[in-house]
Structure 1
C-alpha cells in the first residue's frame, strides 16, 4: 500500500471516531444526559459538540480525498 493511502485510511478512521464521540456525548439527548450522570460519564457542552462534530467531518473528508488521490 502507498503511504498516502494508509494516511487517508487513518484519517477516515479518525474522522469516524470523532463523529461517533460527538454523537455519543451529545448535549441534546436528555435520556443520555441522565444515563451519563448515573454511570459517571459526561456530556459535552454545545459549542464543543459542534467543534468535535465539524472536525470529525473535515478530517474524514480529507481522508477520503487523500485516499482517492493516492489511488490515481
Structure 2
C-alpha cells in the first residue's frame, strides 16, 4: 500500500456495526487502544472487512484537537 497520509496505524478489526447507509468499524491498534471510524456501507463491503482481519486506520487532517476534562 502506498498513500500520501503520514499517519497509518495498523490494527485488527475488533467490531463492525452495519447500518442502513454507514458502517462503524472499531480497530484495535494496540492492546486496549481502539480507533473507531464511520465509513460507508458500500466501502466496508468493498474492503471485505471482518472481525479479526487486519486493516489500517489512516488519519489525514489539517487540525488535531487536544482536550482535557
Normalised by the length of structure 1, the TM-score is: 0.22
Which has a greater percent of helix?
1
Which has a greater percent of strand?
2
Normalised by the length of structure 2, the TM-score is: 0.23
Which is higher, the Rg of structure 1 or of structure 2? 1
Higher relative contact order (CA 8 A, sep 6+): 1
